[in-house]
Every structure is written in C-alpha cells, then in structure tokens.
Chains A and B, each alone.
Chain A
C-alpha cells in the first residue's frame, strides 16, 4: 500500500480541485442559509396564523418536505422541475449553472422546513400573555409579532438554528449526485484520477469536521453571550 502523501493535498492540481470544492460547499451553505432564513420565518408565521387555512398551508409545507429524503428533493429539482418551465426560461437557466441553482433551491426548501419548526417552537416558548398584552395594547397580529414576540423568541431560536446550519453544511455533500462540483464531488474526482482515496477523503473529512466544529463553537458562544431570559 503506498503511504499517505500529504504533498498531494498541499500543492498541485488535486489540491486546487479540493479547495475549489471546499469553497463551493461553503458558498452553497451561505446562499442556502440567506434564502432559507426568511422563508422559514414566513412558514413559521403561517403555522401560527389565526386563520386555519394558512395554518394548514404551513403544516402541509413542513410535512410534505420533511417526509421526503433530501436525495429525492435534489433529483426532482434538477431532473424534474426545470423541465416544466417554458422553453425560453429553460434555455436561459440551462445556459447558466443549473447544477448549483437546482441544489440551492432544493436545499433551501428542505432546510427551511426544519428551520420553520425551530422558529415556531421558539415563538411558542414565549408565554401567551406577552402576545395577548400586545394585542390588548392595540397592536395587530404582525405588529405584535414584530415588536413583542419575535425579539424574545430570537434568543430561544438561535441555538437550534445554528444546529440546523450544521446539518445544512453536511447536507450540501448530497448535491454531488446532480453534478455540483462541491467537496465530495471533487474528492471523488481526485480519487478516480489518482487512486488516492485516503488522501482525498482525509481532506474532505477534515474540512467538514473543522467547519462543523466552528459552527458548533459559534452555537456555544451565542448561548453563553445571549442566554434565554426568563419572561
């Protein structure tokens, strides 16, 4: 068995491939997070809405998405959904980076369902009295949420949201199946070009681990810095 060749990971073409994969994985996480946060707040509010129809809509979204594996979401948004678009839109999309675009859509919709549930439980952790007080003072539903409930819920919600970000970071690896050149894709490419499985996957493993630990560290820091206040 050839020995572990660290140089392979530090210089040259294989190094460049792996690093570009790492950047794309990080970019996927960032883009998805930026889109998923507002979407998940919207879904959480739907689920807490005073109107039954909106509540049902929110529940349908969460259950519909959470009960289907991520792999199926990715394949659907890459091979299935874009085909339903009108021809000119499709042409325009396919001329660009359709792999990354599909992955961001699939990951956003997927992770937002989980985040919405965390936000909803954060909001529900704020005693009903706070909400009632807001309404009694003449605030509307949205205004009560905006000025009274959400700021308090924010402290409760941030730690679970960071842990969802950790899941998201690891989930980006599944995007390799639709040809997104993220870290697992590049590691597999290095493996088949060089037969250096140990080196390629050691790089991917340590990069996933380091970023994951940083995210976990951020969660711990936030929790210490901004503890949940007793209402």
Chain B
C-alpha cells in the first residue's frame, strides 16, 4: 500500500515536472514537433468550412494558418472545435492557435492573448420577412436563435433587452431552426449571415438581414496567455501578409465580389492587436 502510494507520488511528480518543461516555450515545442495545431470551426463559411468536393477544411482563416505554418517551417494541422470549446481547448493545450472566427474582446483578454485583428465584422440578425420585423428593437419578447458559447448571445441580450434567446451547438443548427420557423431571427457575424442568406437560393427573398449592427466584432487568432515568442512570430506573418498585399488577395478570394459574400472592398487592415 505504502509502496504503491509512493510510486503514485513519483509518477505525479514526474508528470508535473515534464509538463513544466513542456510549458517553457510553445514556439520551441511546435518546431520540435514539426507541426502546429490550429483550432478551427469548420462549419463557418468562408472562415473555415469543409469543401464539399475535396472534403478538406478550407477558408480564409485556414489560408492564414497555412501562411503561418509555412513561415515556421512546420506542418499545419486543422482540428475542428465547437464554438463553446474554443477557449478551453486552447487553455488546456490541445490546440496551439485558435483560428475559429474568434472575437477579440476585453472579457476574453484575461483568459487568452490575441494576434493582430484579422477581420472585422458586425453582428447582425437575419429574419423572415413574414415576421414583419424590420428593426432589432422589435425583437423584444420574441425568440431568436444562435450558437452556444460565442459573443452572439451576450451581444443580442445587450442590444435588445427582453429578447428570448435559444442556443444550439453549431450556427447551422440555429440557421436550420430559423428556416423551420422555430424563432423569428438568427444572430451571427454579418459575413456568416450573408453567406447563409446566399445559401437559401430561391427562398432568399423571404429573408432579410436587419440593417443595424448589434455589435462590431474584431476577429483575431487566439493564443495561449504569455507565449510571447509565438505571438511575435504569428503577428510577424500577419504584418507580412498585409504589407505584401497577400492579405488583400485573401480577402478578395474568400469575401470579394466574385464570392457568395460579394463584399466590394475591405474596410479594415491587419495592423493592430488593440481593440
């Protein structure tokens, strides 16, 4: 009995020591491993989604991840996460970097670090025109649908006091529930809403995106707190993308006039990690 508990203690100690060693510097570990693990959503077109033809995860954030891996000389691995699991998975070290439509806000700064802002989007509400809702204020007392664990729920609650919010595991389930008529509105980042709206095809005319922003969301890559060397590298790659014009090209490739989203121009630059 005594012997066993001593052995257990030994194992625990060894595990603690080795994890302390691992924690020394994430950038070194990534280089040693030869791979960098990005946590992506994989369900949020065009940031990260599964290409129906190749069955691979592609998108704006995936391309940024690939640029970072190229610079570090390691293999990129993309791991799909749910919206609610993003920050815990990063904190527990199961992914190295979050590239998962992650909003950079003050509340989250106490939990994790953020790269330069990689995208700016407003959050809006998609409604069925038959509901007669044309202004977000009319949503008070009505049921709106969105995803669990993101900034969507707190933002809509703040913007429309008294709104009834129902949340699901993925944005697409919330969108499906809207189409089935289980709520009058569906809250998401504008870029995703435009994309979802376009997916409706002929039924598109029965839906409208309300003009008001419920918030403006700077999206950024999420990094484990205090990993300065990794953050410097990631930010360096992002600055390079901006200065070489590659960032503009990436924006046009995934969001530009020839895509479903049809954004005319980029309203932001990748230049700061301040919000």
Contact = CB atoms under 8 A, between A and B. Distances in A.
The SS class assigned to the A binding surface is helix
A124 to B, nearest CB: 41
Interface string B96-132: 0000000000011011000000000000000000000
A29 B192 CA distance: 37
B65 interface: no
Interface in A90-134: 90-91, 94, 98-99
Given A83-B180, A94-B180, A192 B149 contact: yes
A71 to B, nearest CB: 10
A99 B180 contact: no
Given A188-B148, A195-B110, A177 B181 contact: no
Contacts, number: 47
Contacts of B167: 179, 185, 189
A141 interface: no
Interface residues of B, number: 23
Contact of A197 (B88, B110, B166): B88
Interface string A171-204: 0000001110100010011011101010000000
10 contacts: A79-B177, A91-B181, A94-B181, A179-B167, A179-B168, A188-B84, A188-B148, A192-B148, A192-B153, A193-B153
Contact of A99 (B84, B154, B166): B166
Given A98-B182, A99-B166, A189-B167, A179 B149 contact: no
Interface in B131-158: 145, 148-150, 153-154
Q: Which of A185, A191, A195 has the most CB of B within 10 A?
A: A195
B126 to A, nearest CB: 17
B177 A192 contact: no
A99 B168 CA distance: 11
Interface in B186-216: none
A79 B176 CA distance: 8
Q: Which of A79, A177, A178, A192 has the most CB of B within 10 A?
A: A192
Nearest to B183: A94
The SS class assigned to the B binding surface is mixed
Given A179-B166, A193-B154, A195-B110, A90 B176 contact: no
Contacts of A185: 148, 167
B169 interface: yes
Interface in A189-224: 189, 191-193, 195, 197
B153 A177 contact: no
B89 to A, nearest CB: 12
B55 to A, nearest CB: 23
A73 to B, nearest CB: 16
Nearest to B87: A195
A17 to B, nearest CB: 12
Given A94-B182, A197-B88, A179 B177 contact: yes
Nearest to A82: B180
A115 B181 CA distance: 34
Which 6 pairs of residues, A with B, have the shortest CB-CB distance?
A: A179-B166, A192-B149, A94-B181, A94-B182, A195-B111, A179-B168
Contacts of A177: 168-169
A168 B180 CA distance: 28
Interface in B157-184: 166-169, 173, 176-177, 180-182
